[in-house]
Structure formats: structure tokens, C-alpha cells
A and B are shown apart, each in its own frame.
Chain A
């Protein structure tokens, strides 16, 4: 089984719908992240959480919200989806240890299409 699991893997929805992408991890890491990947571009950080009570915005948080339900679970919501949120979304985890925090462990991605 994957250490970082994302659901759903693929989703097609319509403009204005509310969508939730879920992420769970069995790595025991404190830190979790949501990144977005667009074709031909790198990944951009949406939100990150260093522990259950610590949630922070990344560089492209507008239109998104998150919830850290437990150490192992971090969900991303689009309250009212729009077509330019069509992208591949990745959840990632990392340890807190100094010197290793940049080593992210990614899930396999959730492909979202907003019509």
C-alpha cells in the first residue's frame, strides 16, 4: 500500500460545485502539504500544515481551503470550483527533522477537471 494515499485519483466536476480532495499518510510525518501541478509547469504550494493546529497558506491559496483532521489526514477543498482550477493536485509529507524537511514524500496525485 502507498504511504501517502490520495482520493479520488480522478474527478470531473462542474463549475460552482464543491470538491474535496483527501489525503492520508502512514509515514507518521508531522508535516503535510498540498501542491498543484499544471501542464508544463512545476508544482506550486497551495497550503501546508506543520501539525494538526498549524495550517498556513502557500503561494496560491485563493479559492482553496484545507482541514487537518488528524496527524495522518489533510484534505483540500474547493468551495466553488472554476475551470482554471483544473490541474493535478499532489499531497506530500515531510519530517520535522532539520536537514530533511525538504525531502517531500508525494502521493500519486488527484487529477481534477472542472467543466
Chain B
């Protein structure tokens, strides 16, 4: 079946360093990808998205990179802060322009002071 997976379940970084969270997807027909952040006890929160006709998109302190050749997605967080500690999910839109998303398993980001 189709899957969206993350390479590492936990990532630990020093405060102030950059973080890179990776995601692999298997559906070459997917055309829209989204990153969500889930803090403890809360629902996921949209961070940034990217369409398949792009290979990079930047937000505030975050950058998403898409490599369609190897079906790889990454989220880069610049100058990681304690408030960035959370579980990060990539999601794949398997029906264009809907909220029908396939989520990856998530990566826990731990920020050390």
C-alpha cells in the first residue's frame, strides 16, 4: 500500500542549532505535501505546505524541501528553540485539494537547552 514514513522517530538537537526532519513517501502521484506540528496534549497544527511543482518553500524559520526523484520531503527549522519541541508529521494529500491526508508516523523533536 501507499505510505508516508519518517526516517527517525526521535531527533535531539541543541538549542540554537538547525534541525532537519525527514520524510519518505511512496506515492509518486501525490502532488501536495504538508508538515504539521503536534505539541503535547494538543491537536496538530499546520506549519507549511508544498506542491509538487516546487522543490523548496520557505516560511518563518522553516523551510520545506521536496525531492521528487527520490520521493523525499524534509523540514528544516532554523535556530531551533525550546518551543519547537513537539512531534512533527509529514502528510500527503492523496486527493487533490481536499483534507484527505495520509500522515507519516511522526518524529519527536527534543530541544536541549
Which A residues form the contact surface with B (CB < 8 A)? 4, 31, 33, 40-45, 48, 50, 58, 90, 92, 94, 98-99, 101-109
Contact = CB atoms under 8 A, between A and B. Distances in A.
The 4 nearest A-B residue pairs measured at CB: A106-B43, A42-B103, A94-B99, A43-B103
Task: Please classify how large the interface on chain B is, using the bins under 10, 10 to 19, 20 to 34, 35 or more.
Answer: 20 to 34
A58 B103 CA distance: 13
Contact of A102 (B9, B44, B49, B105): B49
A108 B42 contact: yes
Interface of B: 4, 9, 32, 34, 36, 41-46, 49, 89, 91, 93, 97-106
Contact of A98 (B34, B42, B43, B97): B97
A90 B44 contact: yes
A90 B18 CA distance: 30
Contacts of A31: 98-99
A79 to B, nearest CB: 24
A58 B101 CA distance: 10
Given A42-B91, A90-B44, 8 more contacts: A31-B98, A41-B106, A42-B106, A48-B99, A101-B98, A102-B91, A104-B36, A106-B43
Interface centre among B4, B42, B44 (most CB of A within 10 A): B44
26 contacts: A4-B43, A31-B98, A40-B105, A40-B106, A41-B105, A42-B104, A43-B44, A43-B89, A45-B101, A48-B100, A50-B98, A58-B100, A92-B43, A94-B99, A99-B97, A101-B93, A101-B98, A102-B49, A102-B91, A102-B93, A102-B101, A103-B46, A104-B46, A104-B99, A107-B43, A109-B43
